[in-house]
Amino acid sequence: DQQVKQNSPSLSVQEGRISILNCDYTNSMFDYFLWYKKYPAEGPTFLISISSIKDKNEDGRFTVFLNKSAKHLSLHIVPSQPGDSAVYFCAASPLNTNAGKSTFGDGTTLTVKP
């Protein structure tokens, strides 16, 4: 029973265009969501997050949208750059006493073509 799903294993976009990565979750106890980026042979690095009390959070070229009723979130990268090519993981956490425990999706490999 996978509680966090990233249904697109890969995505390819042209440099300068928008990249949209999607994530669905099933556990209604999840209240905090994060995106991590991972380059080969490195550990994941935190990118951006959003609390369930918001529906949008923006940080430079990165924007995360949350649709709590649909249990869906998305990461928008505008404009996409070749350096954004990496694996992107969606993660979800419950707002309970064990803050920090995250459940990860299986990732989406983004390729940005020059």
Positions that interact with another protein (CB under 8 A): 4, 6, 32, 34, 36, 41-46, 49, 89, 91, 93, 98-107
Residue nearer to another protein on the CB measure, 60 or 114: 60
Minimum distance of another protein from residue 78's CB (angstroms): 23
Minimum distance of another protein from residue 71's CB (angstroms): 17
DSSP state of 7: -
Reduced to 3 states, what is the DSSP secondary structure of residue 48?
A: strand
CB of 71 within 8 A of CB of 101? no
Minimum distance of another protein from residue 17's CB (angstroms): 26
Cα–Cα dist 46/62, whole Å:
12
